[in-house]
A and B are shown apart, each in its own frame.
Chain A
Amino acid sequence: MSPTAEKVTRGDQAHFRLYRLPSPFQPRLEALGRTEDWYNWAGYKAPNTLWDEELEYFAIRSQAAAFDISPMTKYRIEGRDAEALMNKVTLRDVSKLKPGRVQYTAWCDDEGHVLDDGTLFRLSADRFRLCSQERHLPWLLDSAAGMDVTVEEETEAVAGLALQGPTSYAVLASAGFAGVERLKIFDLAEFPFGDGTVTISRTGFTGDLGYELFAPAGQALALWDLLFQAGRLHGLRAIGYRALNRARTEAGLIVANADFITSEHAVRADRLRQPDEIGLGFMVDLDKGHFNGRRAIAEARRKGSLKHVLVGLEIEGNIPAEHAIVYHNRKKEVGLVSAAIWSPMAKRNIAIADLARPYGEKIVDDLWVEIYALRELQYQKLMKRAKIVPRPFIKLDRRTANPPGEF
C-alpha cells in the first residue's frame, strides 16, 4: 500500500550535507534575494524577505506578487474511491466539490482535533491534490483502509507558485494563458505549457485577486521566466513570507502551528483544538456521512464542552500586539494573540487571538491586550482595549469579481 520510494543510493545522498532543499525556483529566488533572509519551511530554504518587506507587501496589494509555495506538502490521491477517502478524511462534503474546483478545508483525528488545514484540488472525478502544512502520509494511507485508491506524496515533484494581487490576472493573460478569465474564485483548470500543462486555480492566501500555479518541478524555471517576462509591465515582484503573512492576517486566514498547534505535534494535550475552536466550524458537515472526528465534534457541540474560540481583534492604537496576552477586565488572563499587525489596508491594528471560552463567546466586552513593545532595550508595557471584530479584516471585491479585473 505504501509507496516506497526507489531508494536513493549512497552517492546521491545530499541531505546530510544540505539540510535545506532548494525549491525548483531556487535559482531565481537566489538571484532576486538581496536580503539573504532565509528560513526553514518544511525542509526547504525559503525567503522571509527577498528585497524589501514593506514593498513586497505592497506588491501584493497594488501590483502582483509571486510567492513560491513549492515547499507545501502535496499529496496526489487517485482512484475509484478517491472522493470517498477525501470525504472520510476532511470536514467538508467532497461530493459537492466538482471536478475543476478547490476547497479550503481541514481534517481531524478521532477526537476531533485538527490535524491540519489545507486546500483540496479536484483535478478530475477521481483525482485530487491535497496541499498541507504538515505531513500526513500514514494518516491518509490508514484512512484509505478498504478503499480502491492510491495516495502518493509528490511534494518534490511539483512546483507551486502563488501569483497574487490586483494585476495577477493581467500577468497571466499577458503570459498567454487564454481562458484564465473564465476561472471564478476556487475554480481550477489545466493550461498547456511547454510539453505539458500547468494547473492554475483562482485561489490564494492573501484575500486578494490571485491564482496558484502548479507545474512539474522541471518546468518551474520556464514558468517563472514566462511570468516575469509577462509581468514586467504589471509590476510583478517576487516576495517572501513576511509580506505574505501580513496579507494573510488582513484576510483573517490562519496558519497551522502559528495560530493553532496541529494535533500530531501537540505534546501538551491542552493545546489540541477542534475546528469550532479555531474558527473552522463552518467547514464541518455533520450530515455528509461519516468522517474522522465526526462523533467527537458532534459530542463537543452537544455537550458544550468546547474550551476555546478563535477571534479577530481590533486593538486600539497602532502597536502590533503579536503574542500579547489577552485579559478580561484588565485582570483575568483569557487568551493569547497568535498573529497581529498594523493593517496598511484596513488602517487598523488587527490581531487573531485564541480565547478561553466563555470569553470570546458569551463574554465579548471589556477585553484588553497587554503589549510588550521592546523599544531600545526596554519594554514599553501597554494595556490596550481590544474589540472582537469579524474576519476577514479587509474584504476586496476584486478577489471574487468576474471577469477578473485587468488593473
Chain B
Amino acid sequence: MKTWDAIVIGAGHNGLVNACYLQRAGLDVLVVEKNDWIGGAATSRSLTPSFVYSNCSYVCSLFRPEIMRDLELPRFGLQVIGYEGGAVFTRDGDYLANYRDHDAHRREFARFSKRDAEAYDRYARDVTRQCRFIQPLLMRTAPDPTSFRPKDLGELLFLGKKFGGLTPEEMALTVRFWTMSIADFLDEYFETDVIKANFALSGIIGTALGPMSPGTAYVLLHHYMGEVDGSVGAWGYARGGMGSVTKALADSFRASGGTIRTEAEVERVLVSGGKAKGVVLAGGEEVRGKMVVSNADVKRTFLKLVEEKELPDIFVRRVRNFKIRGSSGKVNIALDSAPVFPALPDDSPVYRGDMHFTDSVERMERAYDDWKAGRWSADPFLDMVIPTMLDPTMAAPGKHFMSCFVQYAPPKVGGRDWTDADRDGFAESVISQIAEYSPGFREKIVHMEVRTPREIEAEVGLTEGNIFQGELTFDQLLFNRPVPGYAQYRSPIGGLYMCGSSTHPGGGVMGAPGRNAAAEILGDLSRGTKHMSAAHDVI
C-alpha cells in the first residue's frame, strides 16, 4: 500500500495552498475531499442552467499576493476584478456611495456632512496605521508567550519591538483599538449615522458580534488588510466566481504532481503510538500517510476525526471551548434581468460594487440582538453584490447573479435545528428587504440557493457555518488561536497538523493559515522553504 508523504484533509483554499507548498517542496501529497467538487467555501457551482454562483465566499481581496505569486495562480487562470464603488441605501430613498476617487468620495460624504467628509482622512490615517502594525503578523507564526524557546522569544520580541516602535500616542491608540467596539471608535471621528454604518459593517462581517460589541474595531482591520493588485483595502471579484481561486490552486497543485481525490470523506485520522499514520475514509478504506494536515476546523478535526483518548484532556477541553459560532447565511439569487435600484443614477458605479441597506448602527445592532435571542434577524444586514455586472461568465447575457451575505443567522433557531420552513422565512427576510429598494425585484428571481448555517455546515463542513472557522475575538487571536499552547499549526498528535482558518491569522479567503502551516511542517522536516516568498515588506 502506498504511503503518501502527506495527506491533506479538505480541498478548501487553505488545504490546497498547504498542499501546493508541500508538493512543491518535493513531497508526494494527496488531498482528500468529501464532496464531488472542490473548493470548500471558495467554490463556484452551477445549480440552475445558465447561472454560476459563488456559493459561499463571494469576494477576493484578503488572499495574500505572496501566495498567488508562489503558486502561479495568474498562470493557472485566476483573474481578479476590482469593485468600482459601493453604497448604503438609506430609508429616505437616497444612498451614501463609496467612490474610489478620493475627492469624489469626499464630496459624496459632504452631501451628508461637511464635517464627516473632512474627518475621513484622519480616520483613514489612523486605520492605515493599525493595518500597518498588523499586516506583518499575518504571515508569521504566533509566538507562545509561555515559552522560552529561542524561536518563541524571538517572535515575542518581534511583536514587542513592533509595538515599541510606535510613538506613545500610537501605542495608546493601538491598545484601545484592539478592544474597542467599532461603534465607539467611529463615534470619535464621525457624526452622521449612515456614514458610521457605512464603516461599521466591516467590523461585524463574519462574526457573532454587533457593532457595539468591544473588539469589533479589530474585526474591521481584518477586513481592511486585503489588497487587489497592491491597492490596500480594496475588494474584488474572482472572475468566474470564487471557485476560480480554488480551481487555480488545484490546477497549480496538479501541475506540480499533486493528487486530489474527491468524494473521499475522512471518517477518522489513523493514530498509532501518538502519531498520525493516515486516514480512514468513509467506507473503511485506509489511506496511509507520513503526516496528516487538516483543513477542517479545529472542532471537526479533533472532536470528530480523532479519538478523544489520543488527546490530552486539557487540549480537548480547550478545543471544546473554542467558539465557532455561526452568525451568517447566504442567499444566492439568479435574476432574469438586471435589478434596478431607483435611488441610484443609472450609470452609477455602485452597481459594480457592494451594496447595503442597513443605514444606522442601531439597525445593525438590533439585527445582532435577534441572533443573541436565537433568531435570524428580522431586519438583516446584507452585503450584496452583483458580480455579473462585471463578469459575464457567471450568467447568460442580460441575466444576473446576485450574492447576498446575510447577518445574522444563528447556528440553531431557538435552541433547535433549522427547518426548511425556517430557511424559507430567513430567505424571505432577505428578499423583502431588497424588494423594498428595488421595485419588481421578486418577479425577476428565477432561482435561489439559500444557505443557513445548517446548509453551510452540512455541505462545506464548517462547524456552525462560521465563515472564519472560529470567532475573531481577542481570546481566539494570535497565540490563542485556535487554542493556547497549539497556536503553531501543530497538535498533540505527532504528524497531525492544522492549516484551516481556525488557526492564525484566521478566516477570509487569505491563504495565510495554509501557507504558514506549510512553513512549520517543512521546518519540522528540515526541508527548504526557498519556494515560499517572504511576507512583503511594509515600509
Consider the complex of A and B and state whether they touch directly, i.e. have CB atoms less than 8 Å apart. Answer: yes
CB-based contact B118/A137 at 8 Å: yes
In the complex where A10-B94, A10-B343, A19-B101 touch, is A2 in contact with B115 (Cβ < 8 A)?
Answer: yes
Known contacts A16-B85, A135-B118: does B107 contact A43 (CB below 8 Å)? Answer: yes
How many A-B contacts are there with CB distance less than 8 Å?
Answer: 82
Pair B104/A16 contact, Cβ less than 8 Å: yes
Q: Is B169 within 8 A of A111, CB to CB?
A: yes
Instruction: Tell whether B135 is near chain A: CB-to-CB under 8 Å.
Output: no
Residue A381 is within 8 A (CB to CB) of chain B in the complex: no
A76 at the interface (CB under 8 A from B): no
Residue of A nearest to B128 (CB): A267
CA distance A16 to B348 in the complex (A): 7
How many angstroms from the CA of A20 to the CA of B347 in the assembled complex? 18
Q: Which residues 473-531 of B sit at the A interface, judged by CB distance below 8 A?
A: none
Are A16 and B121 closer than 8 Å at their CB atoms?
Answer: no
List of B residues within 8 angstroms of A21 by Cβ: 103
On chain A, the residues within 8 Å of B118 by CB distance are 135-138, 153
Nearest CB of A to B101, in Å = 4
| In the complex, residue of chain B having the shortest beta-carbon distance to the beta carbon of A20 | B103
Give Cα A13–Cα B99 distance, bound, in whole angstroms. 13
Residue of B nearest to A138 (CB): B119
Contact B125 A10 (CB under 8 A): no
A153:B166 contact, CB within 8 angstroms: no
Complexed CA–CA distance, A352 and B167 (Å): 27
Within the assembled complex, what's the spacing in Å between the Cα atoms of A267 and B128?
Answer: 7
Partner of A5, one of B85, B111, B169: B111
A43 to B94, CA, bound (A): 24
Docked Cα-Cα span, A265 to B125, in Å, equals: 6
| Distance A147 CA – B110 CA, assembled complex (angstroms) | 24
Q: Which residues of A contact B107 (CB under 8 A)?
A: 15, 43
Q: Could you say which residues of chain B place their CB within 8 Å of the CB of A17?
A: 347
Question: Is the CB of A40 closer than 8 A to any CB of chain B?
Answer: yes
CB distance from B350 to the nearest CB of A (A): 8
A3 to B111: give the CA distance in the assembly, Å. Answer: 11
CA–CA, A16 to B117, complex, Å?
A: 15
Instruction: Return chain A residues, CB-CB under 8 Å to B347.
Output: 17
Q: Using Cβ atoms and an 8 Å threshold, which residues of chain A touch B125?
A: 264-267
Query: How far does the Cβ of B190 sit from chain A's closest Cβ, in whole Å?
Result: 9
State how many angstroms separate the Cβ of A26 from the closest Cβ of chain B: 15
Query: Does B345 make an interface contact (CB < 8 A)?
Result: yes
**Contact between A269 and B106 (Cβ–Cβ < 8 Å)?**
no
Q: Does B442 reach chain A (CB closer than 8 Å)?
A: no
Cβ of A269: which chain B residues have Cβ within 8 Å of it?
166-167, 170
- Smallest CB gap from A110: residue in B: B169
Instruction: Judge whether B110 and A267 touch: CB under 8 Å.
Output: no
Q: How far, in whole Å, are A105 and B314 apart by their CA atoms in the complex?
A: 65
Give the complex CA separation of A3 and B117 in angstroms: 12
Residue in contact with A16 in the complex, picked from B97, B114, B119, B129, CB distance below 8 Å: B97
B122: interface (CB < 8 Å): yes
Q: Report yes or no: B108 in contact with A7, Cβ–Cβ below 8 A.
A: no
Residues A8 and B129 in contact in the complex (CB < 8 Å), given A15-B104, A264-B121, A269-B170? no
B209-253 Cβ-contact flags toward A at 8 Å (1 or 0): 000000000000000000000000000000000000000000000
Give Cα A17–Cα B347 distance, bound, in whole angstroms: 9
User: Across the interface, which residues of B come within 8 angstroms of A20, CB to CB?
Assistant: 103
Residue from A15, A42, A265 in contact with B108 in the complex, judged by beta carbons closer than 8 Å: A15
Q: Find out whether the CB atom of A16 lies under 8 angstroms from the CB atom of B169.
A: no
Q: How would residues 101 to 139 of chain B score, 1 for a CB under 8 Å from any chain A CB and 0 otherwise?
A: 111101110111111011101100100110010000000
Known interface pairs A111-B169, A264-B121, A264-B125. Does A15 touch B114 (Cβ–Cβ under 8 Å)?
no
A20 to B101 alpha-carbon distance, docked (Å): 10
- How far does the alpha carbon of A239 sit from the alpha carbon of B456 in the complex, in Å? 63
Flag if B115 contacts A138 (CB, 8 Å).
Answer: yes
Contacts of A42 in B (CB 8 A): 103
How far does the Cβ of A119 sit from chain B's closest Cβ, in whole Å? 19
Question: Interface readout for B363-407 with A: 1 if CB under 8 Å, 0 if not?
Answer: 000000000000000000000000000000000000000000000
- Flag whether A305 is at the interface (Cβ < 8 A): no
Determine if B113 and A4 form an interchain contact, defined as CB atoms under 8 angstroms apart.
Answer: yes
Looking at the assembled complex, report how far the CB atom of B184 sits from the nearest CB atom of chain A, in whole angstroms: 17
Chain B minimum-CB-distance residue to A2 = B115
Query: Are A43 and B115 closer than 8 Å at their CB atoms?
Result: no
| Chain B residues within an 8 Å CB radius of A5 | 110-111, 113-114
Q: Min CB distance, A225 to chain B, in Å? A: 28
Give the distance in Å from the alpha carbon of A266 to the alpha carbon of B125 in the complex. 7
**Contact at B103–A19, with CB atoms within 8 Å?**
yes
Choose one: B106, B122, B348; the contact of A138 (CB below 8 Å).
B122
B441 to chain A, nearest CB (A): 20
Chain A residue nearest to B170 (CB atoms) is A269
Question: How far apart are B39's CB and chain A's nearest CB, in angstroms?
Answer: 35
Q: Is A141 an interface residue (CB 8 A)?
A: yes
The yes or no answer to B349 lying at the interface (CB within 8 A) is yes
Bound: A132/B63 CA distance, A: 40
What is the distance, in angstroms, from B226's C-beta to the closest C-beta of chain A? 18
Are A13 and B115 CB-contacts (below 8 A) given A135-B121, A267-B132? no
Q: Are A137 and B343 in contact (CB under 8 A)?
A: no
B74-102 interface with A by 8 A CB criterion: 85, 94, 97, 99, 101-102
Chain B residues contacting A134 (CB-CB under 8 Å) are 121
- Chain A residues, CB < 8 A from B117: 135, 137
Closest residue of chain A to B191 (Cβ to Cβ) is: A2
How far apart are the CA atoms of A264 and B128 in the complex, in Å?
Answer: 12
A18 to chain B, nearest CB (A): 8
Contact: B114 with A2, CB < 8 Å? yes
Whether the Cβ atoms of B343 and A16 lie closer than 8 Å is no
- Given A2-B113, A2-B114, verify A267-B99 contact (CB < 8 Å): no
Residue of B nearest to A152 (CB): B114
Given A141-B115, A264-B125, A13-B345 contact (CB < 8 Å):
yes
A48 nearest CB across to chain B (Å): 17
Q: Name the B residues within 8 Å of A135 (CB-CB).
A: 106, 117-118, 121
Give the chain A neighbours of B122 by CB distance below 8 A.
138, 264
Q: How far is the CA of A16 from the CA of B191 in the complex (A)?
A: 23
Q: Determine the residue in chain A with the shortest Cβ distance to B103.
A: A43
- Contact of A40 with B115 in the complex, beta carbons under 8 Å: no
Which of A8, A43, A138, A264 makes the CB contact (< 8 A) with B111?
Answer: A8
CB neighbours (8 Å) of A111 from chain B are 169
Q: Which residues of chain B have C-beta atoms less than 8 A from A13's C-beta?
A: 108, 111, 345
Question: Could you tell me the distance between the alpha carbons of A347 and B256 in the complex, rounded to whole angstroms?
Answer: 65
Q: Which residues of B contact A266 (CB under 8 A)?
A: 125
Closest residue of A by beta carbon distance from B348 = A16
Give the nearest-CB partner of A9 in chain B: B94
List, in ascending order, chain B residues with CB within 8 A of A3's CB.
114-115
Chain B residue nearest in CB terms to A40: B103
| Complex-state Cα separation, A269 to B165, whole angstroms | 10
Q: Nearest Cβ in chain B — how far from A69, in angstroms?
A: 17
State whether A43 touches B106 (Cβ < 8 A).
Answer: yes
B272 to chain A, nearest CB (A): 53
Q: Which residues of chain B are within 8 angstroms of A137 by Cβ–Cβ distance? A: 114-115, 117-119
Interface string of A290-317 (1 = CB under 8 A from B): 0000000000000000000000000000
Chain A residues near B348 (CB-CB < 8 A): 16
- Complex-state Cα separation, A13 to B114, whole angstroms: 16
Least distance between A133 CB and chain B CB atoms (Å): 12
* From B113, B118, B170, residue with most partner A Cβ within 10 Å: B118
Name the one of A10, A141, A264 contacting B345, with C-beta atoms under 8 angstroms.
A10
Closest to A136 in B: B118
Closest 7 pairs between A and B when the two form their complex, measured CB to CB? A43-B103, A2-B115, A137-B118, A135-B118, A15-B107, A19-B101, A269-B167
A sample of 18 cross-chain residue pairs with beta-carbon separation below 8 angstroms, ordered by A number, consists of A2-B191, A4-B113, A8-B111, A13-B111, A13-B345, A16-B345, A16-B348, A16-B349, A17-B347, A19-B101, A43-B107, A138-B189, A141-B115, A265-B121, A265-B125, A267-B125, A269-B166, A269-B167
Contact surface of A with B, Cβ cutoff 8 Å: 2-5, 7-8, 10, 13, 15-17, 19-21, 40, 42-43, 111, 134-138, 141, 153, 264-267, 269
A17-B347, A138-B119, A264-B125 given; name 9 further pairs at CB < 8 Å. Answer: A7-B111, A10-B94, A13-B111, A15-B108, A16-B99, A19-B101, A21-B103, A43-B106, A266-B125
